[in-house]
């Protein structure tokens, strides 16, 4: 499929022999001017179908190659949520050039949708849905459905509203199909339906859809008026997006960007900030080592240094495990703020347990090295083994506690990335190690 | 809501004043015997609704506290996919004790669903869906729908089959509602509908649902016969599950488990394997440092050691960033096998670019330290700076290449966790650092 040329794609699209999303996937790799050329022969509705499946950054670039009047017609035919996303992505002067050419009804719809903040339920919803009045009979409701958006698929549920457009329940199309024509909608409507507020955080949507097993959920404003609908397939995108963010944050990789389409400079810019912060904390560790160099220069002291990277690395790894689990748990809602002590207590225990195992390995190895080199093998083994236990337990406790504490003070818990927690543990490991050296050796 | 007692929950459930999933969430924290007691007063359908919303491990433990005959009735009333998952989770002897008591039709359905391997589309699908015959008229199809599973919600699409049960298209309930009664189904059916094979990998589902924006997708066997239906809300669970796996693997945290409900021993067991592997590679690094200790003991050599943790840490962090991006990209399908050279080339460039920036910082710092301590500041600065550039570029290149190569040889790319790649980079960093020391100092 991927090997088709833009010209072939245009032909297939004209005859509806290819799904718009597949066409978009093929065209996406080309230049914006090529994409515009491929779409030029299509009618506006077909072009809209393809454009809304393109990556947003591609859509933005493409707009420059389509005449404004034509673009306005295309925007009128795009899905409400897709066109609102595009308008938000466009530079202000470009949007202001096109919007006045868009028909009144669609312009109002766009203005309403773009007003919802990114990351809210309102920014995910569509305004394409069917409503019926609670007082209607089933047969009147069927007529109403025929009238509303005749060509479109408006989903399994029809929303039941009162005269003020307040959401008061839902009926499924199945119910409408099977009910007697003279029944009233309010008799068959399901009243205690799940709904979300347009201002709700989109993070909560995955949980609501999977818990209540719904194909779509109505969105209301603060006064209970119906303003939109969110479909499960859009929530799949939200869930993927949130997971992307978790993973990028965990790896301290900056914001999620379209990797293959982004230039090297853009990628480097996303990555450099965290790396510089981590180098700064790394320099603290290196200053500490200089501070303690007296110990290393003492008779047989140099062997002490060989175990520092092992200890730091193990602390980092032990912390990464916990941070991964906790960041993910916080974001899926499995772990909540009130679990903070439970998490800390658990990680302390797990940390001591696995620390003991790792401490034994490292301690025995240090003992053997110390014996070979004629130093004081027992002291070395003890210092390395005990530091390992402490480092691992500490790393796990901090890895559990810091993301939760960060969330508590309303910062993104994922700012506490695994590398950052490792850096903190590094510093503490060096201090602890040499404190032990002083006690055990001197 | 969480503060209600199990007894209160039971009362609310009996009067249908609480959603089964909310009841499940509250009950889940109690002992299995308590949960069984709360559910004992409910009829089987209501109990089934609650049980299928409990965590699978809780369902498994609960079964021991419910009489077998009653459990069989409950299983008959559970959703097809939910009960198949439960049967798969039960110890064989328990399942064999209950299944013979389950009604024939449901037993056959269970046997069919459990036969699909975990991780396939078949293991996610439900067998609850509505079908109509292509030859039927619209009014006959409506009658048929009334007959099939009268109480249930079978989704927005009705599947159109031929006399051999081959899937030949779909009609939406909206179409059925609005079509003229005497029209034939094959006239209004959409023929080129998206379907998946029951053996397809569940990882592909998120992409299909979000690309085609569908509420549900029919599942067919190898011969094209309709065998089930997958709904978008179930795919949300799949997508969350896959993201969990990515994050756990990235953090080398073992398999995803229910964190709060798992005991300390269980958690420690999941974590220890990777930590031991990483300690083993860490010991290689420490042996290398011993091997090179001659350099450290030379006049002014001790200052060299102070920069090793900084270099290793930066390599690890640079690698983690890339590994996070690539593992995620592979799993969402954004990055494919054929992109391997593109990724390697990109990461090499990004690595050199950010490596240069970090190398400058570290090099200048080393220069200043060297000057203070009266060593050879320029040599030190050069050694540290150049190693930093090499380490960061190498870490990014390996972090990009190894997950893809692992996928190529059909191993889970996430086995190449960030800590593991860091360990490899650690070893190479030490070797490179002392190679530079030899060239520059001696």
pLDDT tens by residue, A230-243:
999 999 999 999 89
pLDDT, one tens digit per residue, over B75-98 is: 999 999 899 999 999 999 999 999
Contact B314 A365 (CB under 8 A): no
**Cβ(B286)–Cβ(B360) under 8 Å?**
no
Among A433, A410, A403, A238, which Cα is nearest to A321's? A403
Average pLDDT over residues B362-366: 94
Contact B290 A274 (CB under 8 A): no
Q: Which residue has the tokens 């996610």?
A: B124
Q: What is the DSSP string of A376-409?
A: -HHHHHHHHHHHHHHHHHHHHHHHHHHHHHHHHT
Q: What is the pLDDT of residue B261?
A: 82
Band (pLDDT 50/70/90 cuts) for residue A10 is: confident
Q: Residue A246 belongs to what H/E stretch?
A: helix A232-250
pLDDT, one tens digit per residue, over A87-137 is: 999 999 999 999 999 999 899 999 999 999 988 999 999 988 899 999 999
From A174's Cα to the closest Cα of chain B, the distance in A is 7
Average pLDDT over residues B274-300: 87
Contact A313 B278 (CB under 8 A): yes
**Cβ(B209)–Cβ(B189) under 8 Å?**
no
Q: Which residue has the tokens 């549900």?
A: B216
Exposed/middle/buried for A338, CB within 10 Å: 0-12, 13-18, 19+? exposed
pLDDT, one tens digit per residue, over A193-225 is: 899 999 999 988 998 998 888 899 999 999 999
Exposed/middle/buried for B150, CB within 10 Å: 0-12, 13-18, 19+? exposed
Residues of A in contact with B178 (CB under 8 A): 142, 145-146
Determine the residue of chain B that is closest to A359 in CA distance.
B279
From A93's Cα to the closest Cα of chain B, the distance in A is 31
From B43's Cα to the closest Cα of chain A, the distance in A is 20
3-state secondary structure chain B: CCCCCHHHHHHHHHCCCCCHHHHHHHHCCCCHHHHHHHHCCCCHHHHHHHHCCCCHHHHHHHHCCCCHHHHHHHHHHCCHHHHHHHHHHCCHHHHHHHHHHCCHHHHHHHHHHHCCCCCEHHHCCECCCCEEECCCEHHHHHHHHHHCCCCCCCCCEEEEECCCCEEEEEEEHHHHHHCCCCCEHHHHCECCCCCEECCCEHHHHHHHHHHHCCCEEEEECCCCEEEEEEEHHHHHHHHHHHHHHHHHHHCCCCCCCCCCCCCHHHHHHHHHHHHHHHHHHHHHHHHHHHHCHHHHHCCCCHHHHCCHHHHHHHHHHHHHHHHHHHHHHHHHCCCCHHHHHHHHHHHHHHHHHHHHHHHHHHHHHHHHHHHHCCCCHHHHHHHHHHHHHHHHHHHHHHHHHHHHHHHHCCCCHHHCCHHHHHHHHHHHHHHHHHHHHHHHHC
CB atoms within 10 A of CB A393: 23
Which of A145, A282, A325 faces B248 most closely, judged by CB atoms? A325
Chosen CATH of A264-441 out of 1.10.3720.10, 1.10.357.20, 3.40.50.300, 3.40.50.10800: 1.10.357.20
Residues of A in contact with B177 (CB under 8 A): 142, 145, 173, 176-177
Residues of B in contact with A254 (CB under 8 A): 321
From B101's Cα to the closest Cα of chain A, the distance in A is 28
d(CA B370, CA B382): 11
Measured CA to CA in angstroms, residue B261 lies from A338, B243, B244 at distances of 15, 20, 16
Q: Residue A67, SS3?
A: coil
Residues of B in contact with A319 (CB under 8 A): none
Contact A318 B354 (CB under 8 A): no
**A187: Cα within 13 Å, side-chain hemisphere:** 11
Exposed/middle/buried for A402, CB within 10 Å: 0-12, 13-18, 19+? buried
Q: Which two tokens stand for residue B314?
A: 């930066």
Which of A173, A233, A323 faces B173 most closely, judged by CB atoms? A173
Contact A324 B265 (CB under 8 A): no
Contact B325 A253 (CB under 8 A): yes
Which of B259, B286, B314 faces A309 most closely, judged by CB atoms? B286
Domain coordinates in residue numbering, chain A: 6-115, 131-231, 264-441
d(CA B218, CA B229): 4
Q: Which has the minimum average pLDDT: A215-224, A340-349, A376-385, B256-265?
A: B256-265
Which of A285, A334, A346 faces B264 most closely, judged by CB atoms? A346
Determine the residue of chain A that is closest to B149 in CA distance.
A174
d(CA A111, CA A84): 8
Q: What is the pLDDT of residue B419?
A: 87
Residues of A in contact with B2 (CB under 8 A): none
Among A96-100, A372-376, A414-418, the range with the most confident prediction by mean pLDDT is A96-100
Q: Which two tokens stand for residue A57?
A: 């950054």
Alpha helices (H) in A306-442, listed in sequence order = 308-332, 340-372, 377-408, 418-441
Residues of A in contact with B251 (CB under 8 A): 250, 320-321, 323-325, 418
Q: Domain B131-248 sits in which CATH superfamily? A: CBS-domain (3.10.580.10)
Among A350-364, B181-195, B274-288, B360-374, the range with the most confident prediction by mean pLDDT is A350-364
Contact A314 B206 (CB under 8 A): no
Q: Which has the minimum average pLDDT: A76-90, A296-310, B181-195, B423-437?
A: A296-310
- For helices B264-291 and A340-372, give the axis angle rounded to 10 degrees: 30
Residues of A in contact with B202 (CB under 8 A): none
Contact B335 A260 (CB under 8 A): yes
Contact A306 B293 (CB under 8 A): yes
Chosen CATH of A131-231 out of 3.90.1150.10, 3.10.580.10, 3.30.420.40, 1.10.3720.10: 3.10.580.10
Determine the residue of chain A that is closest to B265 in CA distance.
A350
Contacts of residue B291, defined as CB under 8 A and 6 or more positions apart, other chains included, come to none
From A17's Cα to the closest Cα of chain B, the distance in A is 10
Q: Which residue has the higher pLDDT, B330 or B149?
A: B330
Which of B153, B250, B430 faces A172 most closely, judged by CB atoms? B153
Residues of A in contact with B267 (CB under 8 A): 346, 350
To test the contact with chain B by mutation, choose from A1, A53, A216, A243 the residue with the greatest count of B C-beta atoms within 10 A, namely A243
Among A134-148, B291-305, B406-420, the range with the most confident prediction by mean pLDDT is A134-148
Q: Give me the percent of chain B exceeding a pLDDT of 70.
A: 97
**Cβ(A51)–Cβ(A75) under 8 Å?**
no
From A50's Cα to the closest Cα of chain B, the distance in A is 11
Contact B214 A233 (CB under 8 A): yes
Chosen CATH of B6-115 out of 3.30.413.10, 1.25.60.10, 3.40.630.10, 3.20.20.140: 1.25.60.10
Residues of A in contact with B248 (CB under 8 A): 324-325, 328
To test the contact with chain A by mutation, choose from B317, B326, B380 the residue with the greatest count of A C-beta atoms within 10 A, namely B317
Residues of B in contact with A313 (CB under 8 A): 278, 282, 285, 312, 316, 419, 422-423, 426
Contact A318 B178 (CB under 8 A): no
Alpha helices (H) in A19-148, listed in sequence order = 20-27, 32-40, 44-51, 56-63, 68-77, 80-89, 92-98, 104-114, 138-147
Contacts of residue B3, defined as CB under 8 A and 6 or more positions apart, other chains included, come to none
From A65's Cα to the closest Cα of chain B, the distance in A is 25
**Cβ(B228)–Cβ(B131) under 8 Å?**
no
Determine the residue of chain B that is closest to A52 in CA distance.
B211
Residues of B in contact with A290 (CB under 8 A): 303, 306, 369, 373
Q: What is the mean pLDDT of chain B?
A: 89
Average pLDDT over residues A365-388: 89
Among A89, A134, A141, A94, which Cα is nearest to A114's? A89
Among A153, A214, A164, A159, which Cα is nearest to A185's? A159
Residue A411 backbone dihedrals phi, psi, to 5 degrees: -105, 155
Q: What is the pTM of this model?
A: 0.85
Q: Give me the percent of chain A exceeding a pLDDT of 90.
A: 53
CB atoms within 10 A of CB A138: 22
Residue B262 backbone dihedrals phi, psi, to 5 degrees: -90, 145
Q: What is the pLDDT of residue A1?
A: 44
Contact A289 B309 (CB under 8 A): yes
Q: What is the pLDDT of residue B151?
A: 62
ipTM of the complex: 0.84
Average pLDDT over residues B212-218: 91
- A-B C-beta contacts closer than 8 Å: 369
Residues of A in contact with B247 (CB under 8 A): 243, 246-247, 250, 324, 327-328
Determine the residue of chain A that is closest to B310 in CA distance.
A282
d(CA B354, CA B386): 13
Q: Residue A265 belongs to what H/E stretch?
A: helix A264-291
Residue A374 has pLDDT above 70, yes or no: no
**Cβ(A155)–Cβ(B136) under 8 Å?**
no
Q: What is the pLDDT of residue B1?
A: 44
- Residue count of chain B: 442
d(CA A202, CA A411): 17
Contact A240 B243 (CB under 8 A): yes
Q: Residue A190, SS3?
A: strand
Q: Which has the minimum average pLDDT: A77-86, A342-351, B179-188, B366-375?
A: B366-375
d(CA A194, CA A330): 23
**Cβ(A362)–Cβ(A312) under 8 Å?**
no
Residue B226 backbone dihedrals phi, psi, to 5 degrees: -70, 125
Determine the residue of chain A that is closest to B179 in CA distance.
A146
From B165's Cα to the closest Cα of chain A, the distance in A is 22
Q: What is the CA radius of gyration of chain B?
A: 30
Residue A427 has pLDDT above 90, yes or no: yes
Contact B145 A233 (CB under 8 A): no
pLDDT, one tens digit per residue, over B102-143 is: 999 899 999 989 999 988 999 999 988 899 999 999 999 998
Q: What is the pLDDT of residue A51?
A: 93
Determine the residue of chain A that is closest to B316 in CA distance.
A419
Determine the residue of chain B that is closest to A49 in CA distance.
B212
**Cβ(B327)–Cβ(B250) under 8 Å?**
yes
Q: What is the pLDDT of residue B149?
A: 65
**Cβ(B316)–Cβ(B395) under 8 Å?**
yes
């Amino acid at each position: 499929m991927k090997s088709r040329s833009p010209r072939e794609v245009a032909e297939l699209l004209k005859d509806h022999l290819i799904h718009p999303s597949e066409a978009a996937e093929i065209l996406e790799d080309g230049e914006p001017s090529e994409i515009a050329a491929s779409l030029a022969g299509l009618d506006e509705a077909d072009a809209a179908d393809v454009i809304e499946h393109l990556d947003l950054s591609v859509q933005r670039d493409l707009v420059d190659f389509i005449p404004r009047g034509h673009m306005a017609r295309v925007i009128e035919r795009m899905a409400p949520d897709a066109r609102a996303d595009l308008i938000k992505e466009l530079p202000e002067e470009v949007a202001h050039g096109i919007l006045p050419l868009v028909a009144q009804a669609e312009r109002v719809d766009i203005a309403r949708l773009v007003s919802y903040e990114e990351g809210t339920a309102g920014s995910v919803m569509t305004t394409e849905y069917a409503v019926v009045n609670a007082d209607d009979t089933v047969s009147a409701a069927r007529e109403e459905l025929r009238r509303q958006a005749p060509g479109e698929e408006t989903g399994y549920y029809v929303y039941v509203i009162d005269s003020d457009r307040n959401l008061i329940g839902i009926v499924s199309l199945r119910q409408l199909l099977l009910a007697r024509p003279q029944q009233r909608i309010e008799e068959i409507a399901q009243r205690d339906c799940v709904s979300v507020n347009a201002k709700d955080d989109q993070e909560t949507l995955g949980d609501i859809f999977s818990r209540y097993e719904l194909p779509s959920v109505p969105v209301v404003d603060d006064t209970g008026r119906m303003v939109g609908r969110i479909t499960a397939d859009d929530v799949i995108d939200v869930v993927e997006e949130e997971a992307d963010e978790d993973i990028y944050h965990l790896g301290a990789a900056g914001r999620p960007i379209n990797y293959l389409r982004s230039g090297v400079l853009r990628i480097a810019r996303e990555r450099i900030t965290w790396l510089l912060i981590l180098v700064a904390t790394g320099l603290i560790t290196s200053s500490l080592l200089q501070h303690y160099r007296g110990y290393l220069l003492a008779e047989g002291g140099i062997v002490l240094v060989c175990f520092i990277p092992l200890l730091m690395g193990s602390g980092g790894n032990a912390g990464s495990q916990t941070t991964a689990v906790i960041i993910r748990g916080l974001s899926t809602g499995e772990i909540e703020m009130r679990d903070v002590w439970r998490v800390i207590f658990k990680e302390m225990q797990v940390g001591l347990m696995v620390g003991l195992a790792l401490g034994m390995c490292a301690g025995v190895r240090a003992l053997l090295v110390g014996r070979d080199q004629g130093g004081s093998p027992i002291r070395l083994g003890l210092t390395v083994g005990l530091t390992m236990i402490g480092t691992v337990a500490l790393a796990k406790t901090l890895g559990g506690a810091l993301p939760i504490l960060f969330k508590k003070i309303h910062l993104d818990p994922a700012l506490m990335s695994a590398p950052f927690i490792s850096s903190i543990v590094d510093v503490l490991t060096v201090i602890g190690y040499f404190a032990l050296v002083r006690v055990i050796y001197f």
